[in-house]
């Protein structure tokens, strides 16, 4: 059982917003948390762990952390670790804005490690990691907690008898270490997707695979990508909150292995001007009673009606979902046609230029493999916000029994102008769509909705008059 109780006996009619799904985000009793932390500390001690890093991801997409010595783990699980609410209005460059409900120097929150996910870090000897959820001093869920938002959306699906499997593909660029103001120099000059790159960085990549495995993750694939120094790793799908946790763990594992090899990494949307960027593609499948609703149904390519409604809701909401799925203004430099980033608001079977790509899998494995991929998201996203918001939009589509529009089977860039809408080409357009979204506003709840909006507006304003090269340079080493 998670540190938040895993009991989802909610009513589908419960509001998506903060009033709903309270049971899914309630803290279990303190005594129980303490006992479980003692057992976890015993296990970690035998693994020679000295300190535990407890992370959350802010609204700008930066992973922030508080760490405690192992001897402090029980106290952290019983009483939480103090964190300031103003982290909710941090920008990626560490400047701080404010929002109508959250912001300013006062207040205190309690960060609780999720003891189910605590794991020794293979590439940081003596360290363990746990994702954290934030509560008030009174023990009630912090309405700005992005992880609890994702947990509530998972519960909203469960209240409808549905579960999801999700996975975020991680793309990164690896470079030789050096001062942040210098343009990257690469440790391999091998061609895109070339075996040359795996040969050049053989020990490094093996260490990445090994560290991920030792941390309990199941690597599906690792390969060189298109841009200089670019690679991708994918891991097995899991529940929505678990998948968001995993994407944090995967990225920081890659970072740690890189540091041990004298390398640095960038998960920023764009590393080289005009290059292909780093995506954060979100794969998901919807399940009922152990059956994948992406297979064997009457809809397009075997979608069950509920899966079609869900995907129709996601497709329709993509402009506003970009606010959650592409945190950085630099994301819009990546989100351009013919870069496999999914710059058009359309869907298609195995169409890598569609923002929503349907994947049925090979004949024989479809019942397990069928899923959909949101391609337009990048790795500056807070994964909890991205996944939670997609679930909210999908459930709205499902509840309204929506149907998908016509499929797009070709590169939308080759279509007649206007035949298929481009997704927002800058943060202002996406923000405008977000401010019109009643579904996201209700699901996020006013404090989180407003905090995200404040951060996006502040970053959009900050970089509005800045050229592409400067924006790339400002964000390259922040993610
Ligand atoms: N790097 C591309 C992106 O920015 C995706 C490449 C791929 O399809 O894996 O999303
Ligand atoms: Mg890729």
Predicted local distance difference test score (pLDDT) of residue 293: 97
Read off the pLDDT of each residue in 380-396 and give the average, rounded to a whole number: 98
Q: How many CB atoms lie within 10 A of CB 71?
A: 11
For a ligand 1 pocket test, name from 170, 220, 225 the mutation site with the most ligand atoms within 8 angstroms of its C-beta.
225
Tens digits of residue pLDDT in 176-198: 999 988 889 999 999 999 999 99
Phi, psi of 278 (to 5 degrees): -95, 115
Question: Of 377, 326, 324, 376, nearest to 149 (Cα)?
Answer: 324
Q: Kindly state whether residue 117 falls inside one of the protein's structural domains.
A: yes
Q: How far from 230 is each of 197, 205, 226, 392, CA to CA, in Å?
A: 9, 12, 6, 32
With a 6 Å cutoff on the Cβ, whether 283 touches ligand 1 is no
CB 296 within 8 A of CB 305: no
In a domain? residue 44: yes
Task: List b or e across 157-192, with b for residues whose CB sees 16 or more CB atoms inside 10 angstroms.
Answer: bbbbebbbbbbbbbbbbbbeeeeeeeebebbbebee
pLDDT at residue 9 in the model: 44
Q: Assign residue 325 a region: left if phi > 0, alpha if psi is -120 to 50, beta otherwise?
A: alpha
Quick: pLDDT tens for 115-174: 999 999 999 999 999 999 999 999 999 999 999 999 999 999 999 999 999 999 999 999
Question: Residue with the nearest Cα to atom 3 of ligand 1?
Answer: 279
Domain hosting 10: range is 3-23+30-145
Q: Give the pLDDT of residue 415.
A: 86
In this prediction, residues 317-342 reach a mean pLDDT of: 96
> Does the pLDDT value for residue 2 go beyond 60?
no
Looking at residue 86, what DSSP letter applies?
A: G
The number of folded domains in the chain is 1
| 326, 339, 355, 356, best to mutate for ligand 1 pocket (most atoms within 8 Å of CB) | 339
- Does residue 165 form part of some domain? no
Atom of ligand 1 nearest to the CA of 169: 9
- 85 in contact with ligand 1, CB cutoff 6 A: no
**Distance between CA atoms of 84 and 421, rounded to whole angstroms?**
41
- The beta-carbon contacts of 452-455 under 8 Å, at least 24 apart in sequence, are 452/59, 452/323, 452/324, 452/385, 453/99, 453/323, 454/89, 454/97, 454/98, 454/99, 454/100, 454/103, 455/58, 455/59, 455/60, 455/89, 455/90, 455/91, 455/97, 455/99, 455/327
Closest CA to 109 of 140, 130, 78: 140
Q: Give the pLDDT score at 86.
A: 95
Determine the distance from the C-alpha atom of residue 106 to the mean position of all C-alpha atoms in its chain, rounded to a whole number. 29
Indicate whether 113 belongs to any domain: yes
- Sequence-ordered alpha helix ranges (H) in 261-382: 305-325, 331-334, 366-369
Q: Is 352 in the pocket of ligand 1 (CB under 6 A)?
A: yes
Q: List the one residue out of 344, 389, 347, 336 whose CA is nearest residue 371.
A: 347
| Residue matched to tokens 């740690």 | 256
Q: Could you tell me whether strands 282-288 and 162-168 are parallel, antiparallel, or unpaired per DSSP bridges?
A: antiparallel
The answer to whether residue 53 is domain-embedded is yes
**In a domain? residue 68:** yes
**More confident call, 435 vs 362:** 435
When pLDDT is averaged across residues 380-401 and rounded to a whole number, the result is 97
Task: Answer yes or no: is 350 within a domain.
Answer: no
Q: Is residue 354 part of a domain?
A: no
Distance 237 CA to ligand 1 centre (A): 18
Whether 1 shows a pLDDT value over 80: the answer reads: no
Nearest 5°: CA angle at 269, between 90 and 272? 125
pTM of the model: 0.96
Report the CATH number at residue 97.
3.10.20.70
């Amino acid at each position: 059982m998670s540190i938040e109780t895993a009991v989802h006996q909610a009513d589908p009619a419960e509001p998506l917003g903060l009033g709903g799904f309270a049971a899914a985000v309630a803290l279990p009793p303190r005594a129980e948390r303490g006992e479980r932390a003692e057992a976890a500390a015993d296990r970690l001690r035998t693994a020679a762990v000295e300190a535990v890093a407890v992370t959350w991801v802010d609204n700008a997409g930066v992973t922030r952390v508080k760490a405690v010595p192992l001897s402090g783990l029980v106290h952290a699980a019983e009483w939480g670790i103090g964190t300031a609410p103003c982290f909710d209005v941090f920008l990626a460059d560490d400047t701080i804005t404010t929002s109508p409900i959250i912001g300013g120097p006062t207040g205190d929150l309690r960060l609780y490690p999720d003891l189910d996910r605590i794991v020794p870090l293979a590439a940081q000897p003596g360290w363990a990691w746990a994702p954290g959820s934030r509560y008030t001093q009174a023990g009630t869920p912090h309405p700005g907690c992005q992880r609890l938002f994702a947990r509530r959306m998972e519960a909203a699906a469960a209240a409808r008898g549905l579960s999801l499997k999700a996975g975020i593909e991680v793309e990164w660029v690896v470079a030789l270490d050096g001062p942040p103001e210098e343009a990257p120099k690469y440790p391999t000059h091998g061609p895109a997707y070339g075996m040359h790159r795996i040969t050049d960085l053989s020990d490094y990549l093996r260490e990445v695979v090994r560290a991920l495995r030792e941390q309990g993750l199941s690597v599906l694939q690792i390969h060189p990508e298109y841009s200089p120094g670019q690679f991708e790793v994918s891991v097995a799908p899991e529940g929505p909150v678990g998948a968001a946790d995993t994407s944090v763990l995967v990225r920081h594992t890659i970072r740690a292995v890189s540091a041990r090899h004298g390398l640095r990494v960038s998960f920023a949307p764009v590393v080289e001007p005009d290059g292909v960027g780093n995506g954060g593609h979100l794969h998901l499948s919807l399940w009922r009673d152990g059956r994948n609703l992406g297979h064997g149904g009457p809809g397009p390519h075997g979608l069950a009606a509920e899966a079609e409604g869900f995907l129709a809701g996601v497709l329709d909401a993509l402009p506003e979902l970009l606010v959650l799925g592409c945190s950085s203004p630099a994301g819009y430099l990546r989100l351009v046609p013919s870069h496999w980033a999914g710059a058009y608001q359309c869907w298609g079977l195995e169409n890598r230029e569609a923002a929503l790509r349907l994947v049925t899998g090979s004949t024989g494995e479809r019942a397990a493999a069928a899923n959909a991929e949101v391609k337009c998201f990048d790795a500056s996203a807070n994964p909890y916000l991205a996944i939670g918001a997609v679930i909210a939009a999908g459930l709205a589509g499902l509840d309204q029994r929506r149907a998908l529009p016509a499929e797009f089977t070709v590169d939308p860039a080759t279509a007649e102008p206007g035949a298929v809408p481009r997704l927002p080409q800058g943060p202002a357009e996406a923000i405008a769509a977000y401010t019109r979204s009643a579904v996201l506003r209700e699901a996020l709840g006013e404090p989180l909705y407003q905090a995200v909006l404040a951060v996006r507006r502040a970053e959009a304003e900050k970089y509005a008059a800045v050229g592409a090269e400067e924006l790339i340079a400002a964000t390259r080493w922040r993610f």
